[in-house]
Structure 1
Amino acid sequence: MLAPLVARTRTVHHAVGPVAYDCVKVIVVRDGSAFVFSEFGQQPVKAGDVILLGANVLAGSEPEGHITVTTVYLDTDYVLDQVRWQYAAFLSDRLDAQGFAETIYTEPAQILRLGEDRAGMLMPWLDELVALSVDGDFVRHYLRMQALWFQIAYVIAPFIKVSPVRVSPSQRAHIRPTLPRDRRFAPLRIEARRAAGLLRESPARRWTLEELAAEVHLSPSRLSSVFVEAYGKTPLAFLTMLRAEHLAKYLRETDLTVTAAMQRVGWHSRSHATRLFRQYVGVTPGHYRQMRARIA
């Protein structure tokens, strides 16, 4: 994403995903309904609902006929910077905002039930934000786009779940990122990009942290550190997300048995694969295959 915020409106008639984006997504349901599945399990959504997804969080949907949504894509650093300035009286700098965000944002996937009347307030702002995004001249439209986003955020912010309970960075890094994701304000290390590329190229390989670290010429502990800074989770947690995404694709697009599809993505224990898939996608592989069969 070249700009810190972009908006698009589309109508979907077929099942989507699960897919993950390296940005925060705010999805406003304008019309129709669907079942959405992610780390919160499978939940129905309809006009008036808003789906909030953190970076690198798998999510998919199964429309009931159709669903029309406007999605605002937000760069994670842009969101984290807003947290810093919102709480400027309590935070000394940007890096302090990282720890603060870790403390209060612990759910990477949420459904906000605004209701049609309240969500209706957002529609003119969303339409203008989409129009300015499509125009593409972000420099000229920056102030107006930011103003529109602030108006939208002002309406939805009271519905976002926050928690006073702190989850340790080491626990979170092994599971999934927060919203916003903990991320350093520094250039992405080339070793982290290279490691992510290797995992994407060969998700079925039986990677160990030591093997991956050797490929990018870092120690295992150093690779884990720079990878978490870049992607909000450890390399092996990132690999799990990729495998879940690939398994979903096989279940949608092929006639492979569930077990065969699991083995193709690198999972050789059905119970282990089912547990991880459900953790990242929200439903079991068997349930996901049944959803695909109903659509076909």
Structure 2
Amino acid sequence: MKTQTAYDFIEPIAFDFVKLIVVRDGSSRLFSEFGSQHVHIGDVVVLAANTLCGAEPENWVTTTTLYLDRDYLIDQVFWQYAARFKDRLDASDFLDTHYAEPAQIVRIGEDRAGLVMPWLDELVTLSAEGLQAEHFFRAQSLLFAVLDIIGPRLTVTDQRMTLTQRSTVVPSAPRHRRPRPVREGVCQINGGSGLAHFS
């Protein structure tokens, strides 16, 4: 993640990450798959991996950009819609089908933008430190809070996927079975108290 202010034309560039660009201040003309569009505070630009995007600030524009690995997003979609998938390939297909627009602008408005700014600032700070393992859950919770605002406003396609499109590639996915100890006797219940002791 990074926050930056641009004053000059930004040549079109593509990344192999999904990008969320939150406009914090100023305005700009963007050039991408959607043609040329004007963005200002309260707008979020969502770019699929390998999607070109350039910008021409109108005086200046300040943005915070989140770079999200597509595999990470597939994992999140997999667990978000776990009841409808057999495996992560289904989640990948779902992502490709339902979020097929390579570039879109989500207009969350100034009020919601103000709500996400502190979360973005903290994420940028954590990112600057290299996202240490001890901050993983905090970073994840901040990211999920941001996605909770942006996600429901994304444009999705009308096509739906059925459970019969793909068969399970593993004997049983985690959500289709009850959690159990790895081997007999791993867990013993203490005198019916319900407290588990692990050996």
Q: What is the distance in 2 between the residues matched to 1:163 and 1:9? A: 31
Aligned to 2:102: 108
Which residue identity is paired with 2:42?
Answer: G
Q: What is the distance in 2 between the residues matched to 1:76 and 1:138? A: 20
- Alignment coverage as a number of residue pairs: 160
Q: In structure 1, which of residues 58, 64, 68 is the aligned counterpart of residue 52 of structure 2?
A: 58
Aligned to 1:148: 142
Q: In structure 2, which of residues 5, 10, 13 is the aligned counterpart of residue 11 of structure 1?
A: 5
Aligned to 2:125: 131
User: Matched residue of 2:125: which SS?
Assistant: helix
Which residue identity is paired with 2:86?
Answer: S
Post-superposition offset of 1:98: 1.5
RMSD: 1.1
1:31 aligns with 2:7: no
User: Matched residue of 2:84: which SS?
Assistant: coil
Q: What is the distance in 2 between the residues matched to 1:161 and 1:152? A: 17
Post-superposition offset of 1:103: 2.0
Structure 1 runs not aligned, ≥5 long: 1-6, 167-296
Aligned to 1:176: none
Q: Which structure would you say has the larger Rg?
A: 2
Q: What is the distance in 2 between the residues matched to 1:86 and 1:138? A: 25
Aligned to 2:79: 85
Post-superposition offset of 1:140: 1.9
1:72 aligns with 2:61: no
Please report the TM-score for the alignment, with normalisation by the length of structure 2: 0.78
Q: What is the distance in 1 between the residues matched to 2:58 and 2:24? A: 14
Aligned to 1:165: 159
Which residue identity is paired with 1:151?
Answer: A
Q: In structure 2, which of residues 112, 115, 122 is the aligned counterpart of residue 118 of structure 1?
A: 112
Per-residue Cα deviation, 1:140-170 (whole angstroms, up to 9, x for no partner):
211111110000000011110000237xxxx
Please report the TM-score for the alignment, with normalisation by the length of structure 1: 0.53
Give the 4+ runs in structure 1 shifted more than 4 A.
Answer: none
1:95 aligns with 2:86: no
Q: What is the distance in 2 between the residues matched to 1:126 and 1:98? A: 27
Q: What is the distance in 2 between the residues matched to 1:53 and 1:100? A: 17
Structure 2 runs not aligned, ≥5 long: 161-199
Post-superposition offset of 1:137: 4.1
Q: What is the distance in 2 between the residues matched to 1:10 and 1:38? A: 20
